[in-house]
Amino acid sequence: MMTSLVLSVIGPDKPGLVESLAQTVASHGGNWLESGLSHLGGKFAGIVIVDIDEAASAQLQQALNNLASDGLIVTSEVITQADNVPPTQPLTIELIGHDKPGIVREISQALAKRHVNVEQLTTALVSGSMSAELLFKAEAQLLAPETLDLDDLQADLENIASDLMVDISLNK
């Protein structure tokens, strides 16, 4: 029987880390399914989903722990499927504005209050097109309950945008 693992990885950014991780997964019969890997703050960080025969899972997890000798810290967790997941609708949010503390907190609170799940979030500081000022930019892929009143969420986001002086767009 196959099982799925979600791996979170972090280590000093240097050549060969992905190869080492991929080789370890493959040599234990694992299949690399999905990943998001990035250079962040001088570190290599990411998340990987692998499928592996349940009988080989413990050996793979031990081999992944051994990658710490190369500086790569890997944690793993078995993925369990949730039962009776309510129907959802995909949404996206795009935000841009002057950087200030609390932007992610304010947006995530509004989403959590309405049971909206953040599927993917990308943030960056970018140079403004008309000036050298740094702007905070965020893009999020969301899953919202089908029953969500989008007008209420839009109103919440507009209030946050006004308070933080940022532009937010919500798209279905």
Report all structural domains of the chain as residue ranges with CATH numbers, in order of start.
Answer: 2-78 (3.30.70.260), 88-171 (3.30.70.260)
What is the structure's pLDDT at 91?
97
Q: How far apart are CA 164 and CA 97, in angstroms?
A: 8
Q: What are the distances in angstroms from CA 81 to CA 4, 5, 128?
A: 10, 12, 43
Burial class (CB in 10 A: 0-12, 13-18, 19+), 45: middle
Sheet holding 31-40, edge to edge: 31-40, 43-53, 2-12, 73-78
Q: What tokens were used for 106? A: 């304010």
Summarised one tens digit per residue, pLDDT across range 88-100 is 999 999 999 999 9
- pLDDT beneath 70: ranges in the chain: 82-84
Q: What tokens were used for 78? A: 């078995």
Task: Give Cα 97 to chain centroid, integer Å.
Answer: 21
